[in-house]
Structure formats: structure tokens, C-alpha cells
Amino acid sequence: MDKYYTFKIKRYLPDENPQTRWDEFRVKLNSIERVLDGLIKIKETRDGTLTFRKSCAHGVCGSCAMKISGKNRLACQTLVKDMPEMIEIEPLPALPVIKDLVVDMSLFFRKNDEVLPYLINNETPPERERIQSPEDQHKILESLTCVMCGSCTTACPIFWADKEYLGPSALLKAYRFIFDTRDRAKEQRLATINSEHGIWRCHSIFNCVEVCPKQIDITKHILLLKRLAVKRGFKGGVE
Amino acid sequence: MEIIKHYFDVVIIGSGLAGCRSAIECSSHGTVGVLSKLYPTRSHSTAAQGGIGAALGNEEEDSPEWHTYDTVKGSDFLGDQDAIEIMCYDAILTIIELEHMGVPFSRTPEGRIAQRRFGGHTKDFGKTPVRRACYSADRTGHAVLFALYEQCQLKGVKFFQEFQVLDIVIENNAVQGVIAVNIKDGSLHVFESKAIVVATGGYGKIFKVTSNAYATTGECLSMLLRQGLPLEDMEFFQFHPTGLYGLGILITEGARGEGGILLNGKGERFMERYAPIIKDLAPRDMVSRAILNEIREGRGIDGKDYVYLDLRHVNKKIIEERLPEITTFCKIYMGIDPSEAPIPVIPTAHYAMGGIPTDNDGRVLRDVDGSVVEGLYAAGESACVSVHGANRLGCNSLLDTVVFGKRAGKTAISQLKDVSKGKIKKERISFIVESINTIKESKGKETVASVRRDLQTSMMDKCSVFRKEKELMMLLEELQTLKERYKEIYIKDKSNIFNTELLEAIELGHMITLAEVIASSALQRTESRGAHYREDYPERDDTNWLKHTFAFQGEKGIYFKYKPVKLTRFKPEERKY
């Protein structure tokens, strides 16, 4: 069933005008179409300068995270039929805007790099696969589904106030390796996250969980990291 | 205009599985730069769901020889058997390496890599389905891509993300480097190198209904074709049988591997008629044709243009554990829970069997006689080795990317010392700058969107699962019109910053070029084989067509040469399942 929606979009076209502005577009969309389809329709038929990232269009690549009607979401995973008639769209908060809905994510990715986001194991590997029980694999299963869209970290009030905070996404990545039975760099990672801008900054506000498009309980993972740090004798606050 | 210059021994274009696996291989022997038009983990490899094939035998008896046979038969005997043997025998070590690099595979109760059934993979030369696909739930591509990208980071590989390649420079039959634009600020970059690995994936966006991402537009293939290099077997494009109705989003073959079945409007399990032995796990070309045949004969659901994929009888715990991602897709996009309601599906454009011809070590071929372009390599979906022939088997694509990504990387670095550094001439850069300005300054009346939509519709209507001469001829005429219309494209965005309208315009020009190659290749092959089904020539014709198509672009249009198929152990036979 076709229905008209008004897309109210926060625009920023730096080489045209240094000021941001709001543009409104009325578009007709059907009930299986997504906010991303609406944006594409506007770009194709109304204003070719409208700029946003996109790729897979079904919630696996993480390109199209943006703030939609007050909440960070993937545009390709948000059906218009679940939205109000007036859909307000802004770039992800707390990161520099490059153009329209495109933000500069370098700071976000740098945080990820800080937790050594790769399996480290210098032991001579066995001839076949390393053995890992299904129970152990399940411990990291949820954390593996992260698509690095940036919704969580940019929704976190702690990150808004402290840009040096590692943030939920990087901490989740730390969890993914610390709890992988095959990894051998737990101590290094624990030392990194047990810092002034690490795990103890999380005040369990749950904004990250609220917005995660993959429905990962990120706060739970951060709590498990805190618990592990305490067990290892780390103290809260700065070492 | 300021040009920023770089030098790397090896430049890799594309940061999916093939690109990242190549980069890992090269990284300890030379400098490596990887260019990607997306952030690396957003590459479309991440959308691969079901698995990666290898005869590990973790769940039941299996052998690389059976894997080889299945792949040869799946390819409808067009795959080169020496290359297929390499892939299927290397598969085991390749998967073990991936596990050691950190890929979080699902596990058997004993803690080994879990394996499941997949289309066309059988035990004992076709007797019964076999558990050969290694998987990480239904997010296998995502799991492998993250691990490979992470290992690249560990090895210090330099990535240039959101860089769009504008030209691959080949002069005097040797690579010189790459010209690219930094999407973020519009700056022009020149990457001179000794070697280039093209690993840019597929071009499914040429079709209207596809499982492929917006980024899969194939421009690098077209850049090579326009410089006189051939493209191989472009008529073979795979339609995956189970795309979500109305959207084309992929529902993994793993769903049938775990017991799902296809039903028509009469509630019949129709695959029993088309493939009595392995039924719903028949290869994709056969299942896609069967679905469309049911629909044509009025047996779609309620007479409409889709069928059902039914998982209601599959243990709920298995669906939750092994198919969580597709379950979420069904819930989000269709509002249905697959354990309670059947999923409406339709074939969706999925995978290019054809591409840049290479030898078994990733060297790009410049002709059917096996001569190569110095320093140029290709791997993954953008390449055609050919291991998939006329039809790829499920879970062989991820395997292809890592086996041949690694081999291409290995060959590239082994040749570095014999090659001089590439040099890109000023005129070549000026030509690129001018062509961009031409698009920016055009005052035409056409839009990227309208030309692209017509291209996608024409390709879907006349060059998808069923093809015939008359329609292909019409299609080629339509493509001529689209070429003319493309010259009249107007873009509103004149900015240097993140100008996606401009980039889409550039991509579209290349898409039209590729569409012409696909349509011409499909027209000249007057037989039916694998994914290429000609209604006017419904039989396979080994006497005349057991050969690879090499399409070249000449002054008077596309022309063809042929390369024999490499047969080793398996003689072509009738393909029955």
C-alpha cells in the first residue's frame, strides 16, 4: 500500500554553504520500502546533491547508520511503515559531518584499533583446526555479529562528553578477542581497557543496547569485562 | 589540479575476501596498498551467508576428489579441471589457515569446525548430499572478512578506504599503476606500482533484482576491456533461487541444507520432479529454472510470481542457532517468522561466473594463447580462472576468493624483483580529469537514475534466467540507445566532497559496457549450459561449445575468441541429480 511520507533532512553542503539547514521532501513509498529507499528516491528524482552512504541494503555492511526520528538506526533496516508520517533524518551525532548524512568515522575506527582488534597467538598452530567447544564459541557469538556501523558509540552520552572514551563498539571488540579461547593477548587488552577512558567509564546507560541494529546486549559484554578485570585484581579508575 | 603520488610494490583493488587474502600474502615481502571504495569490512563478501566448502570430513566421510567431481559437474563441464583440482585439494589447508587466523567457525560437539549440506555437494560422485560447507552460523562471509581484514591490520597493510579507482594503467603490456579519487575530499591520487591485483567482486547491480550491494558495479572489469583486454565467459551469470520476494535479499542455500524445502502453489515439493536424487539441494541454475518454470505454468503461490521456501518442519533450535540472520531478515522485511510461516522467494541475480581471465596463479591473460599482462593479477569474483564454469556451486565462491587470492598474492610478490617500477604519464591523468569534468559540465537532460533503471530492467527482462535470440538482439539495440542517452547525463552535484552522484555516473558508464559484453556473449553462445539457458537452443552442445568465450572490444564492437576447456579426470556426461 502506497503512502506519502515527509522526509525532513538535516543538510550540510560545505562547499555551497557553511551553515546547516533542514530540507523537506514528500515521497510516496510502499509498505515494504525502507528509509534508505526513500533517500534514494529523493536523490534520484528531487535532489542529486543529497549525500549518504549505502551498500548492502539489508543490514549486514553497516554503511547507512544515521539518526532517524531521534534514534540511531540503519536506514536499510528501518521500514517506513513503522515510522511516523514525518521522518526526521540527521547524521550520526558526536562525529564531524563531511556532507549531509556522511560523518567522518576515523575517530570511531581509531578506538577500535586501540584494543588490538585481531587474533593474536604466536604458538605453533596444530596441523588441523584449534579445538574450541561449542560452549566456548557461544561466549563470543553475540559480539561477533557487530557490523561496525557506529550507532552505539555515537549514541553514548559518555562518549559525547569524553571523546577519548573507547566507547561501546571498541569495548565489544575487546570482549570478542578477550573471550576467544584461541587468543593469547588478553592481558594487553585488559590493560588497555582498564584505563581512565576504558570500561569504568561505562555507567550502564544502555543507549548502545537501545540502538544496536544487530540487537547486541553491549552493556552486558562491558559488565563481563569489568567483572573479569576485577577478578584479575585490576582496580577501578586509573591504574 | 594537485595530484598526490604514492608508490607501493603491490596495489590491490578491493578489500573483500580475495583482496584481503592477497594482501596478507604480500605483506611480509613488499609494500602493499589496498584501495577500496568502501570501509573494508563493508565489502560485499560480508553478505555471504551459508558457508565455505572443504572436504574436511569433520561430520561425515568426504574427499577432495568428490569435491572436485561435484564442482566439475556443477560447472556443467565448463570449469577447467586442473584449476578445480587445485581449489578442492587446497581447500582443506586453506580453511585450517583461516581458522588459525581467527575465523570464528561454528563447532561440532567435539570442538571441530562444523559442516553442513549445500547444493550440488555430494558423497561418492553424486550418491547423496554431504556435509561439506564450513560455516559460522549464517554469517560466514562476515566472519571470514573480519578475520582477514583484522590480520591485514596486524600485518600493517595500508588501506585507502573510500577511494574510487578511475583508471588502471597498462602500457607496453605492463602495469604502471592506478589513478583513484579520494571520495571524501575529491583529491586525485596516483598509485604507481610493480603489480596490481584486481579483486573488486561482482557486478550484480546490472540487473534489476539482485542480492548484490550497491557497490557491485564492476567498473574495473570494464576499464581493462576498454584497454583491449578480454573478459571470459561473461554470458554465465548465476541467479540464486531464493531471494526474498520483492527485494531480492539472499536467503542462504544453507536453509535448504538444514532441511528447508521449496513448495509451489499446489503445495507440492516440486524439486522432486526436477532432481529426484538430491531434490531441493540441486545446483542453483537448475533450481532457479525449476522455480520460474513452476511460475510460468501457473503453479506460483496463488498463481503469482513466487514460490515458498518452507522451514516450518525444521527444528526450531537449528533455525535459531544456524540460521539466525535470515530469520531476522524475514522478520524485519516480510514480517514473518520462518519457523511459523513459509518464506516467499524468487530467483535473484547473485554471482558472476565470468570475469577477468587468469591462469591458475592469478596472472591476467591477454589472449586465448595464454600470454599474460606483466604485473597484472586478478582473483575472486572479478576473475575467471575458471573454477565455476557455467554454474558455481554454493560455498565454492568464498573458497575461490581465499585459494586464488592467496595464489595471486604469492605470484605477485615472487615476480617483484624482475619488474621495474610503474610510471603513469601526465597525459593519462589529464584524460581522466577531463572525462570527469565532461560529466560535471554536461548540460544534458538525462539522469543517472533513469538510464540505470532502464539498463537494469532491460537486462532483467531479456538476459536473465531464460534467453532467446530475438530478445537478446532487442536488448543489444536498447543498449545502443542507453549509450547515447548516457552521453546526455546531467548531474546536479558539482562538489568535490563526497560526490556520490558523480561516482554513480562513472559507474553507470562502465555498467553499460559490461552489459553489452554479457548480452553479446549470451547471443553468440547457441547452446544451453549451466546458468546460460537459451530457449531456442535448449541442449548442451559439447561438439561446438565445450570452450570458453573470450570477449574483446574492437573498433567495430565486441568480437570473440575461444579457449578450450581443460579436461583432466572427468569426461563430460549428462548432468542429472
Locate A41 and state its grid cell.
Answer: 528516491
Q: Strand, helix or coil at B180? A: strand
Identify residue B403 by its one-letter amino acid code: V
Query: What is the pLDDT at residue A238?
Result: 46
Test B495 with A49 for CB contact under 8 angstroms. yes
Chain A nearest-CA distance from B258, in A, is: 18
**Mean predicted confidence (pLDDT) in A47-74:** 97
**Mean predicted confidence (pLDDT) in A10-34:** 95
**Contact present, B240 and B531 (Cβ < 8 Å):** no
Under DSSP, the state recorded for A63 is T
Tell me how far apart the alpha carbons of residues B338 and B242 are, in angstroms, rounded to a whole number: 14
Q: Give me the helix-helix angle, B500-524 and B426-441, nearest 10°.
A: 100
Tell me how far apart the alpha carbons of residues B300 and A101 are, in angstroms, rounded to a whole number: 41
pLDDT digits (tens, 9 = 90+) for B438-463: 999 999 999 999 999 999 999 999 99
Query: What is the pLDDT at residue B418?
Result: 87
Query: What is the pLDDT at residue A239?
Result: 42
Question: For residue B248, what is the nearest residue in chain A, using CA coordinates?
Answer: A58
Architecture of domain B241-350: Alpha-Beta Complex (3.90)
Query: What is the pLDDT at residue B212?
Result: 97
Domain A3-103 listed as CATH 3.10.20.30: yes
Burial class (CB in 10 A: 0-12, 13-18, 19+), B303: exposed
Angle at B529 (CA atoms; ends B528, B535), nearest 5 degrees = 20
| Residue A215 falls in which region: left (phi positive, over 0), alpha (psi -120 to 50) or beta | left
| Average pLDDT value over all residues in chain B | 97
Interface probe for B, chosen from A37, A55, A106, A214 (most Cβ of B below 10 Å), is A55
pLDDT digits (tens, 9 = 90+) for B168-222: 999 999 999 999 999 999 999 999 999 999 999 999 999 999 999 999 999 999 9
Query: What is the pLDDT at residue B535?
Result: 97
Q: Is the pLDDT of residue B414 over 60?
A: yes
Q: Is the pLDDT of residue B388 over 60?
A: yes
Q: How many CB atoms lie within 10 A of CB B118?
A: 27
Tell me how far apart the alpha carbons of residues B365 and B376 are, in angstroms, rounded to a whole number: 9
Please report residues of B whose CB lies closer than 8 A to that of A47. Answer: 492
Write the residue in B43, B47, B498 that is nearest to A99 by C-beta: B498
pTM of the model: 0.97
Beta pairing class for B158-161 and B32-36: parallel
Write the residue in A32, A133, A141 that is nearest to B333 by C-beta: A32
Interface probe for A, chosen from B45, B92, B97, B146 (most Cβ of A below 10 Å), is B146
Test B492 with A49 for CB contact under 8 angstroms. yes
Q: Is the pLDDT of residue A235 over 80?
A: no
* Residues 6 or more apart whose Cβ sits within 8 Å of residue A237: A196, A200
Q: How many CB pairs under 8 A join A and B?
A: 154
Question: For residue B211, what is the nearest residue in chain A, using CA coordinates?
Answer: A56
Q: Say whether the ipTM exceeds 0.95.
A: yes
* Residues 6 or more apart whose Cβ sits within 8 Å of residue B223: B165, B167, B168, B510
CB burial readout B22-36, b (16+ within 10 A) else e: bbbbbbeebbbbbbb
Residue extents of the structural domains in chain B: 241-350, 426-541
Alpha-helix residue ranges (DSSP H) falling in chain A: 35-45, 106-114, 134-144, 151-155, 157-161, 167-178, 186-193, 207-211, 218-231
Test A61 with B46 for CB contact under 8 angstroms. yes
Q: Strand, helix or coil at A231? A: helix
* Residue in B409, B356, B328 with CA at minimum distance from that of residue B11: B409
Query: What is the pLDDT at residue A216?
Result: 98
Say whether residue B279 is in contact with chain A using an 8 A CB cutoff: no
Write the residue in A44, A59, A128 that is nearest to B449 by C-beta: A44
| Residue B91 falls in which region: left (phi positive, over 0), alpha (psi -120 to 50) or beta | alpha
Chain B nearest-CA distance from A13, in A, is: 9
Domain B426-541 listed as CATH 3.40.50.300: no
Write the residue in B47, B106, B142 that is nearest to A137 by C-beta: B106
Query: Where do the DSSP E strands lie in B162-236?
Result: 163-171, 174-182, 188-198, 231-232
Identify residue B209 by its one-letter amino acid code: V
Write the residue in A14, A56, A100 that is nearest to B213 by C-beta: A56
* Residues 6 or more apart whose Cβ sits within 8 Å of residue A216: A142, A143, A145, A146, A172, A209
Identify residue B380 by its one-letter amino acid code: G
Q: Where in the sequence numbering do the catalytic residues of B fall? A: 284
Say whether residue B336 is in contact with chain A using an 8 A CB cutoff: no
Q: Strand, helix or coil at B179? A: strand
Please report residues of A whose CB lies closer than 8 A to that of B106. Answer: 134, 137
Say whether residue B534 is in contact with chain A using an 8 A CB cutoff: no
Tell me how far apart the alpha carbons of residues B115 and B93 are, in angstroms, rounded to a whole number: 16
Please, which pLDDT band fits residue B273 given cuts at 50, 70 and 90?
very high
Locate A212 and state its grid cell.
Answer: 544496536
* Residues 6 or more apart whose Cβ sits within 8 Å of residue B339: B311, B312, B314, B316, B319, B327
Residue extents of the structural domains in chain A: 3-103, 106-231
B70: enclosing H helix or E strand: helix B64-74
Query: What is the pLDDT at residue A176?
Result: 98
Q: Is the pLDDT of residue A237 over 60?
A: no
For residue B259, the number of C-alpha atoms closer than 13 Å in the C-beta half-sphere is 13
Please report residues of B whose CB lies closer than 8 A to that of A23. Answer: none
What is the sign of the dihedral through the CA atoms of B240, B245, B250 and B255?
Answer: negative
Say whether residue B139 is in contact with chain A using an 8 A CB cutoff: yes
Please report residues of A whose CB lies closer than 8 A to that of B42. Answer: 55-56, 61-63
Q: At the topology level of CATH, where does A106-231 sit?
A: Fumarate Reductase Iron-sulfur Protein; Chain B, domain 2 (1.10.1060)
pLDDT digits (tens, 9 = 90+) for B41-58: 999 999 999 999 999 999
Tell me how far apart the alpha carbons of residues A47 and A139 are, in angstroms, rounded to a whole number: 47
Q: Give me the helix-helix angle, A167-178 and A218-231, nearest 10°.
A: 60
Say which residue the cell 577500496 belongs to: B36
**Contact present, A189 and A166 (Cβ < 8 Å):** no
Write the residue in A32, A43, A129 that is nearest to B247 by C-beta: A32
Say whether residue B138 is in contact with chain A using an 8 A CB cutoff: no
* Pairwise pLDDT comparison (A1 vs B425), residue with the higher score: B425
Query: What is the pLDDT at residue A236?
Result: 52
What values do phi and psi take at B555, rounded to 5? -65, -30
pLDDT digits (tens, 9 = 90+) for A138-147: 999 999 999 9
Say whether residue B576 is in contact with chain A using an 8 A CB cutoff: no
